[in-house]
Structure 1
Amino acid sequence: MDISSMLNEYLDSQDKTNNFDDSTYSFIVQLANKLEFYTSVRTPNRIDVGDHKQRDFYLVFELDSSGLVVVYFVFKTDSLTYDGERTDLHDCQSILFSLCCSTNAFSVSLWDIDNSFSNIEGELYGRFAMISQPNLSVITQDEVGKRNIELIFYIYKDYQSFILPYRCQSS
């Protein structure tokens, strides 16, 4: 069984109970399906959006205690696809994402995820990216929020169309 089939089987059996407004959750799922992304309810307050073609980066919608949705991208490669340490990949992919966004007048803030396993200073386990200008990192669960969700999906799709032709695997 290939990884996509295993993921689909997992997603089909997953509990989709969540704390998002029904209309916001439905909107995210419908838009993701339309753009050929998958959605995964990781916790009742977190929805991940990903792509079957790659697992190197994905989008997260996380509900905070006030009902606002915090949105960020995660850059995290895995050892099934790439051999050895992958700090440079996390660094390069997130910088390419930032550059891609800047060509469309979006500013990005990046946060490192330290690699506590390697005990090597500066080794990245992954990286988070948030759209900081215009502020698309915190959105409301209303019609304005839905317009922002569409824009976030546009950013995701734009980066995907840029990076997928250049994606390679190590041997």
Structure 2
Amino acid sequence: MNLSGTGRRMARRCLGVSVAVLICSGCGGGQEVVALPSLTNSVAPLPSLSAVEEDAVASAYTKFVAMLDRADSLPAESRKAQLATVMVDPQLSRVLRRIDEMKRQNIATYGHVIVHVKSVQLTESGATVIDCQDSRGAGTMNSVTGKKINRGVQQGSTKALLVKGSDGQWRVSKSITVGEGC
């Protein structure tokens, strides 16, 4: 058999692996030799680091929206701390001011917003999420009478900027309603 340089290297590599397997197979105190799985039947590759981060960002954003759905009903004494788990300033201060303003005007939120994350973009300074929210089942109401003041829309385009804290958690630093339609 006449092998090229590449073929000879491959043959030596295979021979080396075979010798190593034979040597190790004698080290089991009589244990049965088990065939190793082939590379073609291996488990699916692990997701890339950026895909894992993008999922973490999308999850953090989804938690942020869920927290906003009930932000005004959180106990006043723990509201800031609870909101700080999903947002940072300037968003945190904006939400706290808005809740105080709503309380003074006897306005409360109702319902839940459904998140449809369209994209997550990682940047040097954080991440950007583009969402097409369905807020038809949510809105504001008079907290005294229970009368609904307004409700959301089927498709509301939202852009959120997130930063990663020193604890490794992503939090929203700014959320902007772009407009109706996506």
| TM-score in terms of structure 2 length | 0.22
Task: From the CA coordinates, give the structure whose radius of gyration is larger.
Answer: 2
What TM-score do the two structures reach when normalised by structure 1? 0.23
